[in-house]
Amino acid sequence: MKFILNYIRKEEWSPYVAGILLGVVGVLAVLLSNSLLGASGAFENIAGLIGKAVAPQAFDNMYFNFIMPPGITWGVILLVGVFFGGMLGAFSSGTFKWRLVSDDQWKKVFGPQVWKRWVLAFLGAIVLEYGAGIAGGCTSGLAISGGMLLAPAAFLFIGGMFASGILTAMVVYRKGY
């Protein structure tokens, strides 16, 4: 028992143990609410909700009417849970801290400027979400949730994601790659 409690408090688990936990969560999502885990879709649901309120004409299209209907969906609530779950994880290991630039490796590569991290995070996230929109999901919604149902789409997506991710990392890190 003590061993388990100590393990929960560890900052970093073996990725295999954490992966088992996520796998069980993925099964429970289907078993309990016949839903698939996902993250990017929830942002689109919220974006649609805001868009329909602010500029209803611009958002009156195929995508937001049928493919990603706006609303507080199952995925949105899941995402709220993810936020607090991540926080809980940080609290459990005592590593919770407010930071403007969170990662030392980032500082080494891009410099210590805060604005750079925030601007790149914002622009990068737009690229990321756009890609997820085209592909029909993100790492969780398509790669993991689709993969566990053996959807070919998931493996095509993982292939594309790694191909361009590796290339981008090569460009960013150049000699340090």
Partner 1 sequence: MSNYLIAGFLGVFFGFSLNKAGLTKYHKIVDVFRFTDMAVLKFMMTALVVAMIGLYGLRGLGLIVFPSVPSTYIVGNVIGGLIFGIGMALTGY
6 counts as binding partner 1 under rule CB under 8 A: no
CA distance 76 to 46: 8
Q: Which is nearer to partner 1, 39 or 51 (CB)?
A: 39
Q: Are 78 and 42 in contact (CB under 8 A)?
A: yes
Residue 88 in contact with partner 1, rule: CB under 8 A: yes
Confirm or reject binding of residue 148 to partner 1 (CB under 8 A). Answer: yes
Selected binder of partner 1 within 1, 2, 5, 34 (CB under 8 A): 34
55 binds partner 1 (CB under 8 A): no
Cα–Cα distance, 104 to 87 (Å, whole number): 20
Nearer Cβ to partner 1 (22/55): 22
* 50, 58, 90, 114: residue in contact with partner 1 (rule CB under 8 A): 90
Asked if 69 touches partner 1 (CB under 8 A), the answer is no
Question: How far is Cα 107 from Cα 17, in angstroms, rounded to an integer?
Answer: 30
Q: Which residues contact 64 (CB under 8 A, 6 or more apart)?
A: 44, 48, 51, 52, 70
- Do the Cβ atoms of 112 and 101 come closer than 8 Å? yes
* Contact positions with partner 1 (CB under 8 A) in 108-137: 120-121, 123-137
